[in-house]
Amino acid sequence: MIAEMIKKAGLGDILVRVEAGERLGVDDAARLYLSPDILALGYMANIVRERINGNRAYFIYNQHINYSNICSNLCKFCAFGKPADHEQAYEMSVDEIRRKVRERLDEPIVEVHVVGGIHPDLPYSYYLDMLRGIKQERPDVHIQGFTGVEIAHLAEISGKGLEATLIDLIDAGLGSIPGGGAEVFSARIREITCEKKLSGEGWLEVARAAHKLGLKSNATMLYGHIETIEERVDHLLRLRELQDETGGFMTFIPLAFHPHNTEMHDLSRSTGIEDLKNIAVARLFLDNFPHIKAYWIMIGAKLAQVALSFGADDVDGTVSEEKITRMAGGEAGQFLARNELVRMIKEAGRVPVERDTLYSTIREYE
């Protein structure tokens, strides 16, 4: 009956290939994006999701620290970055960052996620001191920090090149790299929305260099603004190709554009169907990515729960104090307690697995 429904949706040939475990092509991905049949997409994405991750759904006990919003890129889609003289501009000293970590030592946090803007004049030593400081406060914590764009900036200010910079960061305590800054790789999109930002090729180069050093990373795509379906598929293809080469990506996270307080505030927010579709198509096309994350901060906890049946196997974590989405009008809240995450996953019919950053199991909740 389901096969009939999928055939009726004109996707029967894709179902055959999904069931056979065959790789989908760029035309397939475009057809999936164009299909309004969300249940057909979800059914197929769920086949791949369960093949790779069974019935598990991951979450992590983490803390986000956005150390500064001062940014020289000032991308049109971003409400977080501010010029240095803006009344809302801020930067935390290393001591303040250490205090943030220290304040929560009684919680079972396993990851500190550190991201900021492209600050025009913080010195290289600040970033190394920040990593060392976090580790001194909480020696066992995994630091997932600095998007590919920040790392390229650090390589520039260190004057040492990418590889030596990454080695410095690893020595100071960096454990892995989050997926931000990828946006959409298309040069057209970057020229219109973030002309000062590192190019798509530059972002991929940072990921390649990191993976070569054994550093794992994530990847994102910012969707729901002015990108075309072809540009989305091209973005996914470039990620899949790099993953074939290095195997260093852990997770893909589609990020729903939030227009509020941005220069692109005339655009509407993505709909639930669009959010689920981006999860499902990513799960079907990125056959070499172990994980697809439904980031509840961006799409809301309720839709993230539904997304666990549409290809996602991860909802991120407790988070707290995230500013990038909040500044752009995100209403999902800032913090979910561990028991709320467990309940949300269980009610979706999945087995909650509390993980560390690299997806080792900390606890399975039967």
Q: Are the CB atoms for 276 and 306 separated by under 8 Å? A: yes
The interface with ligand V47 within residues 6-65 (CB under 6 A) comprises: none
Residue 69 or 220: the one with the smaller Cβ distance to ligand V47 is 220
320 lies in the binding site for ligand V47 (CB under 6 A): no
Stretch that binds ligand V47, among 15-23, 39-47, 71-79, 272-280 (CB under 6 A): 71-79
Number of shown-chain residues binding ligand V47 (CB under 6 A): 23
Q: Are the CB atoms for 213 and 166 separated by under 8 Å? A: yes
Q: Which of 79, 233, 303, 353 binds ligand V47 (CB under 6 A)?
A: 79
Cα–Cα distance measured from residue 263 to residue 140, given in angstroms and rounded to the nearest whole number? 40
Bridge partners of 174, per DSSP, are 143
Q: Are the CB atoms for 29 and 287 separated by under 8 Å? A: no
Burial readout 140-173 (b: 16 or more C-beta within 10 A, e: otherwise): ebbbbbbbbbbbbbbbebbeeebeebbebbbebb
Residue type, 313: D
Cα–Cα distance measured from residue 164 to residue 286, given in angstroms and rounded to the nearest whole number? 30
The interface with ligand V47 within residues 235-254 (CB under 6 A) comprises: 251, 253
Q: Which of 141, 204, 284, 328 binds ligand V47 (CB under 6 A)?
A: 328
Stretch that binds ligand V47, among 23-31, 42-50, 178-186, 238-246 (CB under 6 A): 178-186
The distance of closest approach from Cβ of residue 15 to ligand V47 in the complex, given in angstroms and rounded to an integer, is 30
67 lies in the binding site for ligand V47 (CB under 6 A): no
Closest CA to 200 of 189, 215, 210: 189
Stretch that binds ligand V47, among 23-31, 66-74, 96-104, 176-184 (CB under 6 A): 176-184
Cα–Cα distance measured from residue 273 to residue 141, given in angstroms and rounded to the nearest whole number? 36
The distance of closest approach from Cβ of residue 261 to ligand V47 in the complex, given in angstroms and rounded to an integer, is 8
Q: Which of 9, 233, 307, 324 binds ligand V47 (CB under 6 A)?
A: 324
174 lies in the binding site for ligand V47 (CB under 6 A): no
Residue 8 or 86: the one with the smaller Cβ distance to ligand V47 is 86
User: CA–CA distance from 113 to each of 7, 77, 143, 223, 317 (Å)?
Assistant: 43, 21, 6, 22, 11
Which residue of the chain is nearest ligand V47 when measured via CB? 180
270 lies in the binding site for ligand V47 (CB under 6 A): no
Stretch that binds ligand V47, among 123-131, 187-195, 216-224, 345-353 (CB under 6 A): 216-224
Residue 31 or 291: the one with the smaller Cβ distance to ligand V47 is 291
Residue 22, token pair as written in the block: 């065959």
69 lies in the binding site for ligand V47 (CB under 6 A): no
Residue 40 or 145: the one with the smaller Cβ distance to ligand V47 is 145
255 lies in the binding site for ligand V47 (CB under 6 A): yes
Q: Are the CB atoms for 225 and 183 separated by under 8 Å? A: no
Residue 256: what are its φ and ψ, rounded to 5°? -80, 125
DSSP 3-state assignment of 182? coil
152 lies in the binding site for ligand V47 (CB under 6 A): no
Q: Which of 35, 66, 69, 147 binds ligand V47 (CB under 6 A)?
A: 147
A 10 A CB-CB count for 57 gives 29
Residues that bind ligand V47 (CB under 6 A): 77-79, 115, 147, 178-181, 183, 218, 220, 222, 251, 253, 255, 257-258, 262, 295, 316, 324, 328
